[in-house]
């Protein structure tokens, strides 16, 4: 039975009340951070693989959607996926569990940004949480001409954000190094053959 109190339409956002239903307000005025995003999805039977657990591809699709939403929200423009790193499925996810994706822009270049996503899996009935996956997407912001466009540089504001920024920069260097080495191997194979 209801308490008679009006329901807060944005109860999930601490301290936020909207003046009128349907009125558009800015994220900033609600205190929502543009570089972070959280999404929770219930794992339904249509996502199952042949063994009855959740199909890895279904989770990959959700990860890509979360990375897109986080990047596009931060950049304020359309974004494309350039690469995905460190997707590992260490434990199965079961139908009926709740997946929460915690996404954050960790590092920015001129037009690209790294979005880190941590996946927390909740057994709704059992009441337990597991950290099942973490991965890193590189997203590129695109202008109306469908060419890469500059994004606002990320300004890490606390120790945690500074740590993520440094780690993101290190991963960017490692990706570039790996690309160089793989190219050298390909060149060798080409000259051998
Ligand atoms: C992403 C894309 C627009 C980049 O195009 P491009 O001509 O290389 O553009 P630029 O040279 O301006 O590079 C744009 C950014 O991508 C980065 N980048 C491009 N190629 C890269 C590579 N091979 N490795 C790492 N970073 C790369 C650049 O460093 C730059 O980032 P920065 O501005 O932060 O330094 C292009 O590769 C593309 O359209 N890819 C397809 C994306 C897509 O459709 N994704 C969905 C998959 S189905």
Q: Is 140 in the pocket of ligand 1 (CB under 6 A)?
A: yes
pTM passes above 0.75: yes
14 token code pair: 């601490």
Nearest CA to ligand 1 atom 37: 82
Name the band, by pLDDT with cuts 50, 70 and 90, for residue 19. Answer: low
Q: Where do the structural domains in the chain lie, given as residue ranges? A: 30-154
- Is the pLDDT assigned to residue 13 strictly greater than 60? no
Give the residue, out of 67, 72, 109, 148, with the most ligand 1 atoms within 8 A of its beta carbon, to mutate for a pocket test. Answer: 148
**150-160 pLDDT tens trace:** 999 999 999 99
Whether the CB of 82 sits within 6 Å of ligand 1: yes
* 193 has pLDDT over 80: no
pLDDT in tens, 68-100: 999 999 999 999 999 999 898 889 999 999 999
Atom of ligand 1 lying closest to residue 172 CA: 25
Q: How far is the CA of 83 from the centre of ligand 1 (A)?
A: 9
The phi and psi torsions of 6 (rounded to 5 degrees) equal: -65, 140
Grouping H, G, I as helix, E, B as strand and the rest as coil, residue 63 is: helix
What string of DSSP letters covers 70-130? HHHHHHTSEEEEEEEE-----S--BTT-EEEEEEEEEEE-SSEEEEEEEEEEEETTTTEEE
* 7 has a pLDDT exceeding 70: no
Measured at the alpha carbon of residue 119, what is the angle toward residues 126 and 156, in degrees to the nearest 5? 135
Pick 15 or 20 by higher pLDDT: 20
* 152 C-beta closer than 6 A to ligand 1: no
The percent of residues above 70 in pLDDT, for the chain, comes to 87
Helix (H) or strand (E) holding 141: strand 128-142
Query: pLDDT value at position 17?
Result: 63
- The 10s digit of each residue's pLDDT in 88-132 is 888 999 999 999 999 999 999 999 999 999 999 999 999 999 999
CATH match of 30-154 with 3.10.129.10: yes
> Which residue puts its alpha carbon closest to atom 44 of ligand 1?
80
Nearest alpha carbon, ligand 1 atom 20: 82
Distance 149 CA to ligand 1 centre (A): 11
83: number of Cβ within 10 Å? 13
Instruction: Establish whether residue 169 lines the binding site of ligand 1, counting it when its CB lies within 6 angstroms of any ligand atom.
Output: no
Is a pLDDT exceeding 90 seen at residue 30?
Answer: no
Lowest-confidence pick of 7-11, 40-44, 90-94, 121-125: 7-11
Percentages (nearest 5) of helix, strand, coil residues in the chain: 30, 30, 40
pLDDT average, residue stretch 167-171: 97
- Our CA dihedral for 158, 162, 164, 165, rounded to 10 degrees, sits at 130
Residue 179 CB less than 6 A away from ligand 1: yes
């Amino acid at each position: 039975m209801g308490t008679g109190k009006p329901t807060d339409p944005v109860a999930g956002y601490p301290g936020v009340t909207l003046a009128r239903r349907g009125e558009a307000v800015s994220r900033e005025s609600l205190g929502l951070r543009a570089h972070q995003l959280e999404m929770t999805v219930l794992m339904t039977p249509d996502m199952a693989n042949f063994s009855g657990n959740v199909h890895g591809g279904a989770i990959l699709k959700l990860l890509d959607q979360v990375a897109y939403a986080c990047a596009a929200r931060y950049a304020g423009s359309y974004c494309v996926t350039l690469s995905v790193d460190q997707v590992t499925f260490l434990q199965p996810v079961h139908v009926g569990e709740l997946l929460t994706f915690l996404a954050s822009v960790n590092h920015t270049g001129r037009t690209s940004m790294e979005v880190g996503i941590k996946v927390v899996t909740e057994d709704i009935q059992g009441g337990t949480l597991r950290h099942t996956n973490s991965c890193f997407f590189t997203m590129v912001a695109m202008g109306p001409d469908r060419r890469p466009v500059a994004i606002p540089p990320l300004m890490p504001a606390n120790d945690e954000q500074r740590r993520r920024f440094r780690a993101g920069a290190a991963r960017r260097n490692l990706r570039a190094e790996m690309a160089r080495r793989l190219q050298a191997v390909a060149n060798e194979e080409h000259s051998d053959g």
